[in-house]
Each structure stands twice: as structure tokens, then as C-alpha cells.
Amino acid sequence: MSKESGLSQGRSYLAIPGPSVMPDSVLNAMHRAAPNIYAGELPDMMPRLMDDLRAVARTKAHAAIYIANGHGVWEAALANVVAPGDRVLVPATGRFGIGWGEMAAGLGAQVDVIDFGKRSAMDIARIAEALAADKAHEIKAVLAVHVDTSSSVRNDIAGLRAALDEVGHPALLMADCIASLGCDVFEMDAWGVDVMVTACQKGLMVPPGVGFVFFNDRAQTVRAALPRVSRYWDWEPRAQPEAFFQYFAGTAPTHHLYGLRASLDMIHAEGIENIWHRHETLARAIWAACDAWGQGGPMELNITNPAYRSHAVTALRLGAPHATRLRDWVEGNLGLTLGIGLGMAEPGDDAWHGFFRLGHMGHVNGHMIMGLLGGMEAGMHALDIPHGDGALDAAARVIAG
Ligand SMILES: Cc1ncc(COP(=O)(O)O)c(C=O)c1O
């Protein structure tokens, strides 16, 4: 990795799709002496914290916190509604859909995967066919990923609910919003989502370590009918605690709660609709630049149809070994870290070096995205990677409005 240009000093920029950039106000809120976990400010702040989380998820449903990453809340959600032998349907549009299905298999579920590949959104008609074919209603839940961070596809969750209703299938609609919450439009109640999982380290702008499960009364009825639920994963005491420790089934993630309080204050000050709009504009600026580069070189957006692109992450194809060379160059020379490609090729395969991703989730603004794009353009010049002209101009025009 060359440091020859001497331009890597200054504040570094982690432009990977999570963990995302952490705001100073979140970090400062966490920088404090150990708080009392038995009385006082920390236990007292929980009811409003839970309400504010629900507001971001656009739901009046129940909410449970777990000291866990995304994999942890995948398991938490499943542990409350799926028993060994139950069937679940996974419409996969990338690595994370497959991963949630693997988690369900690990809990003994029978997992039916409909794999839509790495470059397309869910085909709702095909899912509806599979549901209609399940006359005995054996499928207990559909595990859908809203934004699959590996492919950067954004799926139509409201459309999936409409398909379930049209077919008259009672399966729970479960949504992974780990990459989308606080970035892309998501409406848990209006879209009829029964269970939603997310985590703190992307749109919520908090260091990794806390995850969330939201569930409605339908899902709670399914949980109540299970023969047993593991005490640790059980969402009931967490969502209806009689004592502070029950929110977490043990010691609280003290400093994360302060960080989360600060992040929710930022989110509510900006307004969730404004946040969605900011993410959309910044994403469009990135797409405009990538389209321009692609006119004169190998740069290609992984998801071709803009209607199905995430506003939080962009997966790109640049051909091997260009993507790895570009990532190394901007990190070593500019202090800018881009995301590796995920799930597009095996790590030992030369083709792996042809994919990369940009994270543009959470605490990002116009100048950061222009800097990100300018850095990529400098890297392509330095490395003689062919690319079309006018990318920065195209992005600036989007940002100019
Ligand atoms: C959509 C999605 N689901 C699940 C996960 C897994 O989360 P974690 O890595 O925090 O376990 C991720 C992580 O990037 C993700 O983007």
C-alpha cells in the first residue's frame, strides 16, 4: 500500500456499509464514568428511549433490545417464533438473505430458499406462487431482507405483504432492516411487517454491539403458542420488563444506551423524512458519478434498476484486480476506506478483487460524498483504471438540486 502522495493525514473516513461513521455527539455521550445501573438517570431514560426507537421504525408494536450484532437479532427473532421442524421461506437477494436462512436452519427449521441471485430484487409473483402452493399453510414465516448489503438491492416489503394477503397466507412477515433503518423509507405498521430486526451500527450511528427486535401482536400470539422459548432470547420480559435488568436479561450495555440516546436525539432533530430524503439525494449523486465513469471504463452499478437500489449502500463492479487496487490506493493515500465486495466471488478467487461497496449510511453529508467520489476519481487516475469523464460534475449537479 503506497503512502507516497502524503495526503492520508487528517480525519479518516470509513465509507464501508457498517459500522458507519460515528458522530462526535454519540461518542461524547459515551465518554463518561460508569453509571449506576440500579437507579437514577439510566433506568429512568428507558421508556422514552424505547418510544423513540419505535418512532424510527414507524411502529406502535413491541420492542426488545439485545446486546448483540445483526446475527444475534436474527437468532433472537427466530427463537421466538420458529420451533425445530417448522418451515420458513427465504426469498434471497444476496448473502444476508442466505445467512438469515442458515440461522433458521441452525435452529432446526426447514428452510425453503428462493434464490433471486446477486443482482435482482425479489420477484413477488414467484413468492406468491410458492405461498399459494403451500395449501396446508406449513410455512410459518417469510424471512425478507429489506436492503441486502452484499448486493445493495432494496426489496419491496409492502409488496410482499400485499402478496401474502392476496394469497390469504398466514405466515409471519419478518424483515431484516439492519442496513436500511434510518436510511431508506421503512414503515413497519403501514407495510404490515410482523417482526423487524435491526442493529445500532449503521443508520443508527452507534458503535456495534446492540440490536433490536420489533414485533406485533400477531407475532406475539405465535410466540405464545411455542412449546418453549430460550430464556435468554425470549423477547417478552425484554419488551415488558418489571425491572431494569430485564430489558437486557442481565447487565445493561450502559454506554451504548447513552450513545443511542444521542443518536436518537439527532435523528429526531433532523426528522426521519428529511433523513430519508438526504440518503436518497446522496445515493443519486453516487449513481450519477458511477454511471459517468462507466461510460468510459469497467465501472458498473451492481443493481441496474434504480428503483431497486438501496439509498444506504452501493455495490460496484470494477473488474479484477481494479477494485482491490482502488480500495488500497484511497486508503493508503487519502485516508478513505471503501468496503470490500461481499458474496460476489469466493475470497481465494482472483475475481474477488473486482468487487467493492460504498457505505453511505447514517452520519454522511454532501461534502463527504463529494470527497468520497473525488477520492475514487483520483485513485482511478493514479492507477490508470479507464473511466468516463464528468463524474464529479454529474454528482455535483444532483447535490445542487
Ligand atoms: C442486511 C444485513 N443483515 C445482517 C447483517 C449481519 O449483521 P452483523 O454483522 O452485525 O452480525 C448485516 C451486516 O452487515 C446486514 O447488512
| Pair 63, 50: CB distance under 8 Å | yes
Helix or strand or coil: residue 395? Answer: helix
CA distances for 219 relative to 39, 76, 127, 172, 193, angstroms: 32, 13, 21, 7, 10
Looking at residue 252, its pLDDT comes to 98
Residue nearest to atom 7 of ligand 1 (CA): 70
User: What ligand 1 atom has the least distance to the C-alpha of 72?
Assistant: 11
Give me the pLDDT at residue 6, please.
84
Ligand 1 centroid – CA 292 distance (Å)? 30
Please report the pLDDT score of residue 120 as a whole number. Answer: 97
The grid cell for 147 is 436492503
Q: Give yes or no for residue 257 CB within 6 A of ligand 1.
A: no
Check pocket membership of 179 for ligand 1, CB cut-off 6 A. Answer: yes
Cβ of 181 below 6 Å from ligand 1: no
Q: How far is the CA of 103 from the centre of ligand 1 (A)?
A: 12
pLDDT of the residue at 1: 43
* pLDDT score at 232: 97
* C-alpha of residue 203 to centroid of ligand 1, in Å: 12
User: Is 337:11 a contact under the CB 8 Å cutoff?
Assistant: no
pLDDT one digit per residue (tens) for the chain, 401 residues: 444 678 999 999 999 999 999 999 999 999 999 999 999 999 999 999 999 999 999 999 999 999 999 999 999 999 999 999 999 999 999 999 999 999 999 999 999 999 999 999 999 999 999 999 999 999 999 999 999 999 999 999 999 999 999 999 999 999 999 999 999 999 999 999 999 999 999 999 999 999 999 999 999 999 999 999 999 999 999 999 999 999 999 999 999 999 999 999 999 999 999 999 999 999 999 999 999 999 999 999 999 999 999 999 999 999 999 999 999 999 999 999 999 999 999 999 999 999 999 999 999 999 999 999 999 999 999 999 999 999 999 999 999 99
Predicted pLDDT of residue 349: 97
310 lines ligand 1 (CB under 6 A): no
Give the pLDDT confidence score for residue 2 in this predicted structure: 46
**Closest atom of ligand 1 relative to the 180 alpha carbon:** 1
Residue 304 Cα to ligand 1 midpoint, Å, equals 23
Ligand 1: centre distance to CA 99 (Å): 9
Q: How far is the CA of 264 from the centre of ligand 1 (A)?
A: 20
Integer Rg of the chain from CA: 21
Residue nearest to atom 5 of ligand 1 (CA): 70
Atom of ligand 1 nearest to the CA of 99: 4
Rounded distance from Cα 33 to ligand 1 centre (Å): 30
Phi/psi at 120 (nearest 5 deg)?
Answer: -130, 155
Peptide bond into 208 cis (omega under 30): no
